[in-house]
């Protein structure tokens, strides 16, 4: 989930903070201090996150495009200049554009807005934007909610009392609601100082940037992993089940499936699964001695050299072309697989399926997937030539079952012609003739289209009179038999118009002892 | 997204009154072939459908699309969101004349076009001679409201699951009424009647378990009139009649117009959208070597277009060039929206893309949506669907005026169902990740990749739809997890950590021992495997012991076997609790594994020595006369080594090349060593080391009491026996050798 830091660079940010006895700080300095802390945290614990830095006043500027280089971000932060008044709307519009240009409109994004809560005055102020929101045309819509899924974190370099004194707090709350409600407004507790800004950004880090650690298990084999980006809780149905589902920290492999069988399934999100070395002893001791650093590097080296289950799993998944089905929570599953990027680097990846007992119709219910050893015979065949997947649905779809649709005249005409074409090739085509005839009969009965039955009966009778002398004698019998049956059906008489009833070929001396009828 | 939205329940009410038997006056020529062949044959008069036939076939088409895209699903509490777009939708079909006829129920098995066709055939066309005074669509509408109050299996299931939160399960529904109304006043009368019935039924439902009050109802009245007539009813967009009832009126001519109206309605009602696949190459029947390009229109959930919809908005915002035509499609020309049927229909055009994709590629797919062809029986449609049903997939690209080609969708079939997959075509946030070889365990090179691959094949999954739980009450996926647990009880990850898994000879046993239950045959195979190993050991066959990490050639042969047997025992021990037969395998190993007669003895000795060593260590610092403060770590290693070498020296003790011992301490000068001394030869490094260690060790244990009291290095054993039966001392001494 990429992050956009939207930094207020208006003049009000240069307001000094009154501090007793120490050197004078501006609010901007506090903001920079907080962001520095955030960037440092990300550089060490969340370094795969892409972050962009945008500053705004009445105009906005993309200072650093999306990057994982936190030094660049820090440098830009240190060289901020001061500009004029606050105009949040155009800045949010800018954020919307930047994100969509980079990531499209389906990638979830976090926006960290850092401001002093002085949200401008007059035209372009947030108050003005919110007030005029409803009186705008399609082309001038307010940028929130963003077209992409987003979380909005508002970091106020001021305390709650200060914001509540004006309508700033109300406006910000309204902004958060507009954005879809995902996110939070953070304010500073107590006096404005380095300590309280640290506390505030600490809360943001806890809420949005703590790495997701889990244990990946396959029976007794296990590995500690970090899942990046961290999987977000999913809300299924706001009415029936309003509690979002979260991924458990215990990821348990259920079994394995061929890539061809899982067949490019739809997924909610994709995540890297990175093995990590958890040094529990170090955590417990944690005395902070001088040679801590040395120990750290040696631990890393050791970690590289000691076998890790993730690496084994990744290697085999890659070689075999398989995925591992993994349970993420109650009735929630995902898959692990090897993903190679263009540079031939490859990685263990996890995709999350839709929560639910049957995320993919072609696998059936996951809880009903069991080990092949339980089957009477290997469903993959002795030479891996078969597969139990895909699971076939109970009913065929319309396009797979030769349905009758006469909405367009051509549909009806084609069906009538098929019958006539076969009628002219009797008795060779006896079977197809009756098959098509019965199909038409059924549909005509269901649609209450008795007139059609009469019409086709007449057509068949006429075909009978038009038969050439060379025709097989059976043809005439079958045609008049079929015509008669259709006429009977068209009366609606329950004996002849039953839907399940089929017209069967007439038994004649020429039709080989009714063999044709048997085959019907 | 709500599971129980208005779309959860749909009641279709079709008018079966005598006036519906009237002709639609849309004529269809059936007698087509006569033109080409007949001379003097008078063509048959064209047929025309009745209003009833038009209503029925269009409603069936509505349902065909609905069931294709939202098929009936087995009962479970799954609330699917948008990536597969399968909410549970159910339809109740009612026809109305002098009374109402309910043709199906809310039950899952009744949700099929086939069932309804059969029921409709039983109803037959309206009887034009029936008394029009007794017949009314009202019977059907009242029945529809009653039906909406009836709880569906899903609602029931959800309420049961949610227990005290049962009130979260809503009851909403839609009534589609296909009728021929007299006038606008008649329409209002119908609406009032529905509203009244809802109010009455809600009162009733409040006191019942199997009924639920209706919270929201959408009434869609479709007035059908014959072609050529003027309509007596005017169209009216959706309007709120009361807080529970919305109503809209569509006045449509029978035939083609009715069909396209219902097609539009099914899209609106179930959030569908249309995609036209263009440039489909298809072989012509007449000219097999040429192919023409065709277009096929498909319907599917509209979320398959989510990226287009959003980028459309995006373009308006970003570039601020809002041309009216562009509003829905955006500036990218990807959506290529074309308005047809007097602007009612919009479709997104995607281009057939060759080469095709292969099935072993795992695409990053953000959604999959069932499709239904608009014109299911047309030749282009059936060619496309058959192609896909045969298991092939097609990538679809956005037609762009310029620039690179963007593949955004894929059509693919899974088990007889065709899905439109949406593929991610934007930049990934996971690009350029650190390679797995850079992380933990990344430097290890001898993972058992092939073995784990084999393990994965054995732990593949297969569906057991008819066996929900086994005797122990475990669902199939729990059995799969249990199997993984059993198979991994002893599973070394790298080649150099294991001997047995590098040996072909162990495979049969290793495969069988992990089983949940073993047959008598399995046990026999395991035992045979063990005997085979014994045989190998007897023949002194080499073992694939890894030499990684150890200097030199690694352990000697019999030590290798000892390691192998130990490992095998470790493996089998982890399964020993599974069954009696598993236990027997372990017993077989214990009984058969090589324990040279001396080994047991040596082990005991070794153990004693270690005990002593511990004690000596404690006193070590005090006993200064020994002058050699041992590094305990090194010493332990040395002892291990010494044990190995001691066994080595035993093996070669009769060899003529046996070295002369280096150190002849009187205390150690056993007869054995003395005898070795006699055979002359060069002193090997091994013997130097051995004697040095022996010497070092000898200082650290108390001397054997017998040896201390010995005369001329010979101790008299069993002295007490001598007292009793006067056996010869000398003889006893020999016997010990």
Query: Which CATH number characterizes residue A215's domain?
Result: 2.40.290.10
Lookup: tokens for A319: 């070689």
Domain limits for position A331: 211-234+246-280+307-394
* Beta pairing, strands A60-67 & A51-56: antiparallel
A:146-175 residues touching chain B, CB 8 A cutoff? 147-148
Flag whether A293 is in a domain. no
The structural domain count of chain A equals 3
Q: Which residue has the higher pLDDT, A242 or B625?
A: A242
| Cα–Cα dist A168/A185, whole Å | 12
B430 contacts on A by Cβ (under 8 Å):
48, 228-229, 270-272, 349
Q: Are residues A364 and A438 in the same domain?
A: no
Interface A-B, measured as beta-carbon pairs within 8 A, has a size of 493
| Cα–Cα dist B494/B484, whole Å | 18
Flag whether A437 is in a domain. yes
A495 contacts on B by Cβ (under 8 Å):
none
Q: Nearest by CB to B449, which of A257, A316, A379?
A: A316
Q: Are residues A83 and A224 in the same domain?
A: no
Q: Which residue has the higher pLDDT, A269 or A290?
A: A269
The Cα diameter of chain B in Å comes to 142
Q: Are residues A200 and A219 in the same domain?
A: no
**pLDDT tens-digit readout, A442-481:** 999 999 999 999 999 999 998 888 888 888 888 999 999 9
Q: Are residues A50 and A136 in the same domain?
A: yes
Torsion, Cα of B321, B324, B327, B328 (10° steps)? -150
| Contact status, residue A117 vs residue A163, Cβ threshold 8 Å | yes
Q: What is the pLDDT of residue B605?
A: 56
Mean pLDDT of B191-218: 92
Flag whether A356 is in a domain. yes
Q: What is the pLDDT of residue B699?
A: 72
pTM: 0.81
What is the residue whose two structure tokens read 């070395």?
A: A277
Q: Are residues A180 and A47 in the same domain?
A: yes
> DSSP character for A219?
T
Q: Could you tell me the pLDDT band of residue B273, with boundaries at 50, 70 and 90?
A: very high
Q: Are residues A317 and A418 in the same domain?
A: no
Q: What percent of chain A has pLDDT over 90?
A: 48
Q: Quick check: B443 and A304 CB within 8 A?
A: yes
Please state the ipTM of this predicted complex. 0.88
Q: Are residues A49 and A192 in the same domain?
A: yes
Q: What is the pLDDT of residue B329?
A: 33
Cα B339 from chain centroid (whole Å): 41
Q: Are residues A187 and A177 in the same domain?
A: yes
Flag whether A502 is in a domain. no
Q: Which residue has the higher pLDDT, B631 or A385?
A: A385
Q: Are residues A88 and A148 in the same domain?
A: yes
Q: Could you tell me the pLDDT band of residue B677, with boundaries at 50, 70 and 90?
A: very low
Q: Are residues A434 and A487 in the same domain?
A: yes
Q: Where are the alpha helices (DSSP H) in A210-330?
A: 259-262, 280-285, 292-305, 309-320
| Cα–Cα dist A239/A332, whole Å | 19
How many residues comprise chain B?
Answer: 737
Q: Quick check: B486 and A219 CB within 8 A?
A: yes
Q: Which residue has the higher pLDDT, B657 or B243?
A: B243
Flag whether A31 is in a domain. yes
CATH, domain range B6-29+45-270: 3.40.50.410
Q: Could you tell me the pLDDT band of residue A493, with boundaries at 50, 70 and 90?
A: confident
Q: Quick check: A48 and B458 CB within 8 A?
A: no
Torsion, Cα of B326, B329, B333, B334 (10° steps)? 180
Choosing among B112, B391, B429, B522, which should be mutated to test the A contact, i.e. which has the most A CBs within 10 A?
B429
The CB density around residue A4, as the number of other CB atoms within 10 Å, is: 23
Top-level class of domain B274-423: mainly beta
From the number of C-beta atoms within 10 Å of its C-beta (0-12, 13-18, 19+), residue B10 rates as buried
* Beta pairing, strands B9-15 & B90-96: parallel
| Contact status, residue B645 vs residue B697, Cβ threshold 8 Å | no
Angle between helices A430-446 and A450-465 (to 10 degrees): 150
From B46's Cα to the closest Cα of chain A, the distance in A is 8
Q: Are residues A172 and A216 in the same domain?
A: no
So where are chain B's domains? 6-29+45-270, 274-423, 492-735
What is the residue whose two structure tokens read 């980079």?
A: A102
| Contact status, residue B301 vs residue A77, Cβ threshold 8 Å | no
> What CATH number is attached to the domain comprising A137?
3.40.50.410
C-alpha to C-alpha distances, A33 to A25, A157, A210, B297, B364, nearest whole angstrom: 11, 11, 19, 57, 39
Chain B contact for A213 (CB, 8 A cutoff): no
Q: What is the pLDDT of residue B668?
A: 41
| Cα–Cα dist A214/A223, whole Å | 9
Question: Residue B12: which H helix or E strand, with range?
Answer: strand B9-15
Q: Quick check: B442 and A304 CB within 8 A?
A: yes
Mean pLDDT of B724-734: 48
Flag whether A291 is in a domain. no
Q: What percent of chain A has pLDDT over 70?
A: 91
pLDDT at residue A517 above 50?
no
Q: Which residue has the higher pLDDT, B600 or A396?
A: A396
Q: What is the pLDDT of residue B45?
A: 84
Q: Are residues A442 and A475 in the same domain?
A: yes
Q: Which residues contact B4 (CB under 8 A, 6 or more apart)?
A: A239, A240, B154, B155, B158, B169, B170, B171, B172
Sign of the Cα pseudo-torsion (A465, A469, A472, A474, in order)? positive
| Cα–Cα dist B389/B411, whole Å | 10
| Cα–Cα dist A502/A445, whole Å | 12
pLDDT at residue B124 above 60?
yes
Q: Could you tell me the pLDDT band of residue A211, with boundaries at 50, 70 and 90?
A: very high
Q: Nearest by CB to B461, which of A256, A264, A399?
A: A256
Q: Which residues contact B37 (CB under 8 A, 6 or more apart)?
A: none
Lookup: tokens for A271: 């995540």
Flag whether A515 is in a domain. no
């Amino acid at each position: 989930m990429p992050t956009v830091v939207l930094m207020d660079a208006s003049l009000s940010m240069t307001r000094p903070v009154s501090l007793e006895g120490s050197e004078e700080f501006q609010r901007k300095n506090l903001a920079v201090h907080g962001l520095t802390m955030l960037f440092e945290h990300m550089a060490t614990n969340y370094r795969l996150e892409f972050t962009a830095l945008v500053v705004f006043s009445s105009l906005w500027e993309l200072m650093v495009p999306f990057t994982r280089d936190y030094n660049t971000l820090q440098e830009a932060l240190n060289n901020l200049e001061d500009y004029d008044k606050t105009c949040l709307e155009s800045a949010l519009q800018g954020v919307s554009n930047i994100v969509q240009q980079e990531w499209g409109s389906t990638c979830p994004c976090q926006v960290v807005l850092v401001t002093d809560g002085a949200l401008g005055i007059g035209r372009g102020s947030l108050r003005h934007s919110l007030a005029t929101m409803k009186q705008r045309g399609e082309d001038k819509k307010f940028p929130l909610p963003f077209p992409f899924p987003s979380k909005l974190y508002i970091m106020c370099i001021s305390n709650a009392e200060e914001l509540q004194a004006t309508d700033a707090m109300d406006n910000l709350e309204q902004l958060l609601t507009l954005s879809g409600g995902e996110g939070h407004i953070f304010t500073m507790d107590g006096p404005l100082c380095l300590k309280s800004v640290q506390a505030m950004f600490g809360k943001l880090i806890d809420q949005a940037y703590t790495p997701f650690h889990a244990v990946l298990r396959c029976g007794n084999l296990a590995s500690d992993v970090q899942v990046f980006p961290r999987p977000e809780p999913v809300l299924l149905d706001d009415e029936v089940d309003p509690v979002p589902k979260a991924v458990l920290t215990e990821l348990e492999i259920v079994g394995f499936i061929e890539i061809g069988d899982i067949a490019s399934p739809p997924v909610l999100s994709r995540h890297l699964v990175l093995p990590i070395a958890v040094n529990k002893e170090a955590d417990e001791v944690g005395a902070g001695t001088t040679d801590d650093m040395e120990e750290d590097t040696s631990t890393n080296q050791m970690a590289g050299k000691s076998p890790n289950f993730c690496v084994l799993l990744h290697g085999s998944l890659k070689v075999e072309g398989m995925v591992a089905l993994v349970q993420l929570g109650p009735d929630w599953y995902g898959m692990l697989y090897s993903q190679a990027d263009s540079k031939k680097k490859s990685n263990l990846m996890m995709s999350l399926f839709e929560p639910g007992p049957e995320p993919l119709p072609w696998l059936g219910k996951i809880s009903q997937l069991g080990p092949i050893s339980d089957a009477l015979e290997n469903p993959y065949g002795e030479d891996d030539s078969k597969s139990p997947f895909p699971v076939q649905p109970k009913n065929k779809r319309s396009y797979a079952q030769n349905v009758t649709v006469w909405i367009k005249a051509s549909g009806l005409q084609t069906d009538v012609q098929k019958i006539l074409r076969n009628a002219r090739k009797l008795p060779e085509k006896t079977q197809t003739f009756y098959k098509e005839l019965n199909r038409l009969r059924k549909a005509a009965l269901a649609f209450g289209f008795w007139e059609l039955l009469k019409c086709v009966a007449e057509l068949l009778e006429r075909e009978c009179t038009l038969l050439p002398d060379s025709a097989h004698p059976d043809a005439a019998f079958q045609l008049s038999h079929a015509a008669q049956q259709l006429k009977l059906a068209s009366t609606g008489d329950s004996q002849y118009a039953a839907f399940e009833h089929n017209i069967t070929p007439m038994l004649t001396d020429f039709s080989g002892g009714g063999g044709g009828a048997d085959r019907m | 997204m709500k599971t129980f939205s208005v779309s959860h329940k749909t009641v279709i009410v079709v008018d079966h009154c005598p006036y519906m038997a009237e002709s639609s006056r849309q004529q269809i020529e059936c007698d087509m072939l006569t033109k080409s062949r007949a001379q003097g044959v008078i063509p048959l008069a064209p047929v025309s459908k009745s209003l009833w036939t038009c209503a029925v076939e269009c409603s069936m088409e509505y349902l065909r699309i609905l069931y294709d895209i939202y098929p009936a699903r087995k009962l479970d509490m799954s609330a699917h969101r948008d990536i597969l777009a399968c909410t549970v939708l159910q339809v109740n079909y009612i026809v109305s004349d002098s009374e109402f006829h309910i043709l199906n129920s809310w039950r899952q098995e009744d949700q099929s076009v086939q069932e309804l066709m059969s029921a409709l055939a039983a109803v037959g066309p309206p009887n034009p001679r029936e008394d029009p005074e007794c017949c009314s669509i009202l019977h059907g509408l009242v029945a529809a409201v009653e039906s909406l109050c009836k709880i569906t299996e899903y609602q029931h299931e959800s309420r049961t699951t949610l227990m005290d939160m049962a009130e979260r399960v809503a009851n909403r529904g839609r009534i589609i009424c296909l009728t021929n109304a007299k006038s606008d006043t008649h329409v209002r009368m119908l609406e009032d009647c529905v509203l009244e019935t809802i109010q009455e039924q809600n009162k009733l439902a409040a006191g019942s378990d199997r009924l639920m009050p209706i919270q929201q109802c959408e009434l869609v009245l479709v007035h059908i009139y014959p072609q050529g007539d003027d309509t007596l009813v005017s169209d009216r967009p959706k309007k709120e009649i009361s807080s529970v009832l919305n109503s809209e009126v569509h006045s449509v001519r029978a035939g083609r117009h009715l069909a396209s109206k219902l097609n539009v309605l099914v899209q609106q009602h179930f959030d569908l959208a249309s995609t036209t696949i263009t440039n489909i190459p298809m072989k012509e029947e007449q000219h097999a070597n040429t192919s023409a390009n065709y277009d096929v229109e498909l319907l599917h959930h509209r979320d398959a277009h989510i990226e287009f919809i959003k980028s459309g908005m995006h373009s308006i915002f970003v570039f601020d060039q809002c041309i009216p035509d562009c509003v829905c499609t955006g500036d990218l020309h990807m959506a290529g929206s074309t308005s047809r049927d007097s602007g009612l229909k919009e479709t997104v055009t995607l281009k057939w893309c060759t080469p095709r994709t292969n099935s072993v590629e795992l695409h990053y797919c953000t959604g999959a949506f069932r499709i239904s062809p608009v014109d299911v029986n047309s030749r282009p449609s059936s060619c496309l669907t058959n192609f896909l049903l045969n298991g092939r997939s097609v990538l679809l690209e956005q037609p762009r005026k310029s620039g690179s080609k963007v593949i955004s969708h894929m059509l693919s079939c899974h088990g007889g169902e065709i899905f439109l997959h949406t593929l991610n075509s934007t930049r990934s946030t996971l690009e350029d990740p650190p390679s797995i070889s850079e992380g933990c365990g990344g430097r290890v090179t001898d993972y058992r990749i092939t073995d784990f691959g084999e393990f994965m094949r054995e732990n593949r999954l297969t569906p057991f739809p008819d066996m929900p739980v086994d005797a122990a009450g475990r669902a199939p996926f729990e059995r799969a997890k249990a199997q993984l647990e059993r198979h991994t009880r002893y599973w070394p990850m790298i080649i150099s950590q294991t001997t047995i898994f590098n040996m072909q000879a162990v495979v049969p046993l290793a495969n069988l021992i992990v089983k949940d239950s073993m047959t008598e045959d399995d046990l026999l195979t395991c035992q045979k495997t063990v005997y085979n190993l014994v045989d190998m050991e007897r023949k002194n066959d080499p073992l694939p012991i890894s030499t990684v990490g150890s200097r030199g050639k690694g352990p000697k042969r019999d030590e290798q076997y000892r390691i192998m047997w130990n490992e095998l025992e470790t493996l089998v021990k982890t399964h020993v609790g599974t069954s009696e037969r598993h236990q027997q395998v372990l017993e077989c190993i214990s009984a058969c594994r090589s324990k040279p007669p001396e080994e047991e003895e040596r082990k005991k000795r070794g153990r004693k020595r270690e005990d002593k060593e511990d004690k000596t260590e404690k006193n070590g610092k005090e006993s200064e006369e020994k002058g050699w403060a041992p590094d305990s770590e090194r010493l332990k290693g040395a002892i291990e080594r010494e044990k190995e070498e001691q066994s080595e020296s035993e093996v070669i003790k009769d060899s003529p090349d046996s070295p002369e011992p280096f150190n002849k301490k009187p205390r150690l000068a056993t007869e054995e060593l003395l005898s070795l001394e006699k055979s002359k030869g060069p002193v090997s490094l091994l013997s130097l080391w051995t004697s040095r260690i022996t010497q070092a060790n000898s200082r650290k244990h108390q001397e054997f009491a017998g040896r201390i009291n010995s005369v001329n290095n010979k101790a008299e054993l069993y002295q007490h026996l001598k007292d009793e039966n006067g056996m010869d001392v000398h003889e006893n001494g020999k016997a010990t050798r």
